[in-house]
Amino acid sequence: MIIKDKNSETITISLDEYNELKSLKEHCSELETQVKWLMEQLKINNKKTYGSKSEQSEYIYEQLSLLHNEAELYSDVEAKEEVKVASHTRKKKEATLDKLPENIKTVVVEHTLPEEEKVCPNCNEQLEVIGKEVKKTLKIKPAEVIIQEDVYYTYACKNCEKTVLRPQ
């Protein structure tokens, strides 16, 4: 087979080489088409992911125009007037017991373990108080408001150094 090069040079190749060259060119053009398609998909995906989120973008408008028939496209439809409603944000009220007035009566209820339970189950040594948790509860009775503080002591064995119990 005789092929002329771009530089007007004549090259002689066999029929097998020519068929292989032809198939490689076809494969190359298929790959170029596939690359173009993939690049378009990448652009669309990037626009969906990182682009503007407004429904008024050109891309969506073009896609929506394909859904309507020509009669609907060219008909004159009056647009409805937009009504703007004034909106505001309201601060959420925080319900905390840290901001209560100081003149409210406070009742402290201490929750301790009975003496027979203050023994380490591992080594039978006496448990000692290592800390406490305070839980404030607002109790409202008709015509009376009381803050109740529940104090829960945590016990541990000095010998084992394991935290054992906290009464419920």
Q: In a structure prediction context, what are the per-residue pLDDT tens digits for the chain, which is 168 residues long?
A: 666 666 777 888 889 998 999 999 999 999 999 999 999 999 999 988 887 776 555 555 555 555 555 444 444 445 555 656 667 666 666 566 666 667 788 888 998 888 888 888 888 888 888 888 888 888 877 777 888 888 888 888 877 776 666 666
The answer to whether 130 and 88 are in contact (CB under 8 A) is: no
Location of structure tokens 């189950």? 121
**How high is the pLDDT of residue 160?**
76
Nearest-CA neighbor of 138 among 94, 93, 107? 107
For the chain, domain boundaries: 2-72, 105-157
CA distance 89 to 95: 19
| Helix, strand or coil, per DSSP, at residue 58 | helix
**How high is the pLDDT of residue 28?**
96
| Global confidence as pTM | 0.32
Amino acid at 116: E
The answer to whether 134 and 90 are in contact (CB under 8 A) is: no
